[in-house]
Amino acid sequence: MVQTGKYWTLVDAGLGSADLRNPRDRLGDNFLRRVRPVLNPAEPAIRQVQALGIDPHDVRSIVLTHHDVDHVGGIADFPWACVYVSRAQVDLIVPALRKDMVRRLHPVQWSHAPQWKPVTLSETWRSRPSFRLNDSLSLVALDGHIEGHCAVVIDRENEPPLIHAGDAVMDVKTELFGGRAPLGLRAFQYMTRTDARAWRESRAWLKECVEDGIDVICAHEPHPRLSGAR
């Protein structure tokens, strides 16, 4: 989460409470079979927000890297929040889910009519299309994993910015520092990417950012490691 004034912004929403109650309908058999997620009742963002002593209604906005089921489900727990996402991602689901996404994305996760705020990436950040959402946050194009996938760049006072890379990488330490991800993880990434060339270019860009001292985290490391960690 990122605090802006008295309010908070979630970066990705993770699995939501309804996903845990009804995983087959909301997550789909394909995701459940491939990923075998641990459906921990303490995991939904709203539970973690409450555990921190924060009023969930103070979460006024959510920024999504993309619409995969394990990133979007939690928006249903914050129906009052504005949901920012790249316009290319919204085009996959509006006015109807694109046919090639039927097995991957599940409209039931946004059937509560969220307050979508589609973003056109009309600016640039380090040579990539971007859009500044506010003084602290920007969406930056990071295609390959799925069309319209973005990184979220978080500006920090007296420090380099922090890049949340979404699913562009899934193990920062091995994939951005010259290592090699485990075979199973590599296979999963190859199966889920929709554009191999864009995927490689996005990862090369992230490596350049790390070499320039910018910290990078991603969505699927249980204990996020910053780029300076070893």
- CA distances 62 to 18, 144, 168, 174, Å, are 18, 22, 19, 29
In a domain, 65, yes or no: yes
| Residue bearing tokens 């991603």 | 218
pLDDT value of residue 228: 41
In a domain, 59, yes or no: yes
pLDDT value of residue 230: 31
Each residue's pLDDT, cut to its tens digit, for the chain (230 residues) gives 999 889 999 999 999 999 999 999 999 998 999 899 999 999 999 999 999 999 999 999 999 999 999 999 999 999 999 999 999 999 999 888 999 999 999 999 999 999 999 999 999 999 999 999 999 999 999 999 999 999 999 999 999 999 999 999 998 988 898 888 888 889 999 999 999 999 999 999 999 999 999 999 999 875 444 444 33
In a domain, 15, yes or no: yes
Q: What token pair was written down for 98?
A: 């694109």
In a domain, 199, yes or no: no
Query: Among 201, 174, 177, 195, which Cα is nearest to 186's?
Result: 174
CATH number at residue 25: 3.60.15.10
Please tell me whether residue 215 adopts helix, strand or coil conformation.
strand
pLDDT value of residue 224: 46
In a domain, 183, yes or no: no
Q: Is the separation of the CB atoms in 139 and 119 below 8 Å?
A: yes
- pTM for the model stands at 0.92
Please tell me whether residue 49 adopts helix, strand or coil conformation.
helix
Question: Could you tell me whether strands 215-217 and 159-164 are parallel, antiparallel, or unpaired per DSSP bridges?
Answer: parallel
Cα(127)–Cα(121) distance, integer angstroms: 12
pLDDT value of residue 4: 86
Cα–Cα–Cα angle for 152, 125, 218, nearest 5°? Answer: 25
Q: What token pair was written down for 94?
A: 């509006």
In a domain, 145, yes or no: no
pLDDT value of residue 95: 87
Question: How many Cα atoms are found within 13 Å in the side-chain-facing hemisphere of 103?
Answer: 9
Longest CA pairwise span in the chain (Å): 46
Q: Which residues contact 218 (CB under 8 A, 6 or more apart)?
A: 164, 165, 166, 167, 168, 169, 170, 171, 172, 224
Query: Among 228, 201, 95, which Cα is nearest to 140's?
Result: 201
pLDDT value of residue 173: 83
Give me the count of residues in the chain.
230
In a domain, 90, yes or no: yes
Q: Which domain holds residue 56?
A: 2-119
Q: Domain total for the chain?
A: 1
In a domain, 201, yes or no: no
